[in-house]
């Protein structure tokens, strides 16, 4: 597998998944324009993530059944249409519907990840997954920075229009650059969906990875869905541009993904999973105690992104050790539940902010990490793995 192809897939993953996160630094601006409460604006990231979860459940499994390049290009084109609909929205209901469509169509990244795993040698799988996931995670973080700056200067609608143009260009590039793939499965679509129930029922590695991943991403979304509201208050009183810049602080954590993948290859994904949960927990302790200090927030952002990325890479390295003919469906189930956790985290975060401000947000994040630790203990008992 050419290194240039790996990087192209990594960049493409980052660009497509970025569509899910343009809204987060803009939520306070949207709330002001639509004259609604922060809790009501929590519906925007929630519907985006629910749409993504459902798109993964019903679309990503097709990667085991039909030619992957065509599927990836088609979904990228549909993303452009959904983003245009968001740019033209004039009320909260219209933006919520468009956000759901953005989430549903942004699944190209989760077709690219198992595609990359299929193309590489098994001994290199953790490293390649880490590289593609690095691009994906950098896309998540840079999306907030770009949307915060563009939104502050030109308005949130312009940001969605810009993203629409980027998806049109990306669809053309992917059509010309990706290799054709061979389908690994000859099942009907209903049978394909039924087979996923068997996988989630009979694969404890998938069950534990999905549970831990959902809690980890829920804590991640709890923080990022409420940061803009914290920063617009004293002592900061910052706008969306500064809220978006915090995404750059987390790039250091995202760039650690290939290293995490190599550690998971050499040692045990269970070790790096517990490490990731521990790092995320420490980040929330810093957010709680040092949220009124800029350096404290920056340090917490670096750690939460590093911790969540470490957990994510380790979980995916675990499920991709299962047979290759299951990979698209395994990834679909894992990421669907991952983003259900994110949607719940977004909603709980904005609810906690509306009722208990930052203390409530941090309590939710730490509670989710406690549940993730319980999942790691269950994993050790059922998979007979070690934490070291």
* Series of mean pLDDT values for 10-residue runs along the chain (388 residues): 83 93 88 85 87 88 83 95 95 94 91 79 70 81 86 93 97 91 73 84 88 95 90 85 76 66 67 90 96 91 88 82 76 85 90 93 97 90 58
For the chain, which domains are there?
3-175+187-383 (1.20.1250.20)
Q: What is the pTM of this model?
A: 0.74
Q: Return phi, psi of residue 248, to 5°.
A: -65, -30
The pLDDT score that the predictor gives to residue 387 is 41
How wide is the angle at C-alpha 294 spanned by C-alphas 293 and 299, nearest 5°? 100
The pLDDT score that the predictor gives to residue 253 is 65
Residue 153 CB coordination number (10 Å):
11
Asked if 120 and 128 touch (Cβ cutoff 8 Å), the reply is yes
The pLDDT score that the predictor gives to residue 123 is 66
Residues contacting residue 61 through CB under 8 Å, at least 6 positions apart: 192, 193, 196, 328, 329, 332
How wide is the angle at C-alpha 56 spanned by C-alphas 52 and 62, nearest 5°? 145
The label of the residue with tokens 């084109």 reads 77
Residue 7 CB coordination number (10 Å):
14
The pLDDT score that the predictor gives to residue 1 is 63
Stated as kind and residue range, the H or E segment containing 295 is helix 294-319
**DSSP type of residue 324:** G
């Amino acid at each position: 597998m050419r290194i240039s192809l790996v990087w192209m897939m990594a960049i493409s993953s980052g660009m497509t998944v970025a569509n899910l996160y343009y809204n987060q630094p803009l939520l306070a601006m949207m709330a002001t324009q639509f004259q609604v409460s922060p809790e009501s604006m929590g519906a925007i990231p929630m519907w985006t993530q629910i749409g993504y979860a459902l798109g993964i459940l019903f679309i990503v499994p097709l990667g085991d059944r039909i030619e992957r390049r065509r599927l990836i290009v088609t979904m990228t084109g549909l993303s452009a249409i959904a983003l245009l609909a968001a740019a033209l929205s004039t009320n909260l209901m219209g933006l919520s519907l468009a956000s759901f469509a953005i989430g549903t169509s942004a699944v190209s990244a989760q077709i690219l990840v198992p595609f990359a795993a299929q193309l590489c040698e098994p001994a290199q799988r953790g490293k390649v997954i880490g590289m593609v996931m690095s691009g994906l995670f950098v896309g998540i973080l840079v999306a907030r920075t770009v949307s915060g700056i563009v939104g502050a200067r030109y308005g949130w609608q312009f940001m969605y229009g810009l993203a629409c143009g980027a998806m049109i260009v990306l669809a053309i590039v992917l059509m010309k650059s990706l290799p054709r793939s061979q389908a690994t499965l000859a099942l009907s679509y209903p049978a394909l969906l039924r087979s996923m129930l068997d996988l989630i029922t009979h694969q404890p590695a998938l069950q534990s990875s999905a549970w831990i991943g959902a809690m980890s991403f829920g804590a991640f979304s709890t923080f990022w869905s409420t940061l803009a509201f914290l920063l617009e208050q004293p002592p900061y009183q910052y706008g969306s541009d500064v809220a978006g810049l915090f995404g750059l602080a987390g790039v250091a954590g995202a760039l650690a993904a290939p290293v995490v993948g190599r550690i998971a290859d050499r040692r045990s994904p269970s070790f790096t999973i517990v490490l990731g949960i521990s790092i995320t927990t420490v980040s929330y302790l810093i957010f709680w105690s040092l949220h009124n200090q800029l350096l404290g927030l920056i340090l917490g952002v670096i750690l939460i992104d590093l911790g969540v990325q470490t957990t994510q890479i380790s979980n995916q390295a675990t499920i991709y050790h299962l047979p290759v003919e299951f990979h698209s469906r395994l990834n679909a189930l894992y990421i669907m539940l991952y983003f259900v956790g994110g949607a719940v985290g977004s909603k709980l975060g904005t609810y906690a902010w509306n009722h208990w401000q930052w203390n409530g947000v941090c309590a939710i994040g730490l509670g989710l990490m406690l549940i993730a630790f319980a999942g790691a203990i269950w994993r050790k008992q059922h998979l007979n793995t070690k934490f070291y």
